[in-house]
Amino acid sequence: MKISSKKNILIWLGLLLVVIYIYWGRNIYCIGGNKCITVWKKFNNKSLVIPGRYFGMLKPSSCYIETENIGDIVVYWSDKLPEVIIIRCDGIYKIYYPGNIKILDYKKSYAYEKILYEIDSKKFNEVKPTSYLMDINIKENYAVDKFGEKISPYSFFP
C-alpha cells in the first residue's frame, strides 16, 4: 500500500471520528409529525434542547435552550400558539432566542397555565386536548407524553 493511500485512509477515519464525536448523544423525540425536540448532550455537562429535528454539525446560532445533562425539561405545545413552545425546566438553563419558533418560560408567566391546562386540572399531565406535553429526562435519555407513554427517540448511534 502506498503512503498516499494510507494517508487518505487516516484522513477519512479522522473525519469519521469527528462526525461521530459531533453526533454522539443526540436524540430526537417526536409527538405526532411536527412536534419534535432534539436533545444534544455535550461533553461539558451541557445539553442543547432544540425545537424540531436538528441535524447541523455545529450548535445552532439561535432558538435553543442550554441546560445541564442531569436535569428534566418539560416542553409544551398548544394549538392556540402554533409558533411557540413553552418550557418548564428545574435545573439551570438559558434560552437563546430569536428564531423561527418562540421559546417561552413557563415560570415567567402563569398566563400559560390557562392556555395549557383545564381549569380543574390537578395533575401535571392533565393538559387540554389542544395542548401537548413532552417530559424529557435528559440524564436517562427518556421522554414521555401527556398520557405517560414512553416516546422512543431517534438516535444517530444507538
Cell readout for 28 is 430526537
Distant-in-sequence, close-in-space partners of 22: CB < 8 Å, separation ≥ 6: 57
- Model confidence at 150: pLDDT above 90: yes
Task: State which residues form the domain around 125.
Answer: 26-155
Q: Please tell me the total count of domains within the chain.
A: 1
Give domain status of residue 13, yes or no.
no
Give domain status of residue 78, yes or no.
yes
Beta bridge partners of 133: 76
Cell readout for 27 is 436524540
Is the whole-model pTM more than 0.75?
Answer: yes
Work out the burial of residue 64: count CB atoms within 10 Å of its CB; fewer than 13 is exposed, 13-18 middle, 19 or more buried: buried
pLDDT at residue 155, rounded to an integer:
59
Question: Taking residues 23-43, what's their average pLDDT?
Answer: 84
Give domain status of residue 48, yes or no.
yes
Give domain status of residue 129, yes or no.
yes
- Model confidence at 157: pLDDT above 70: no
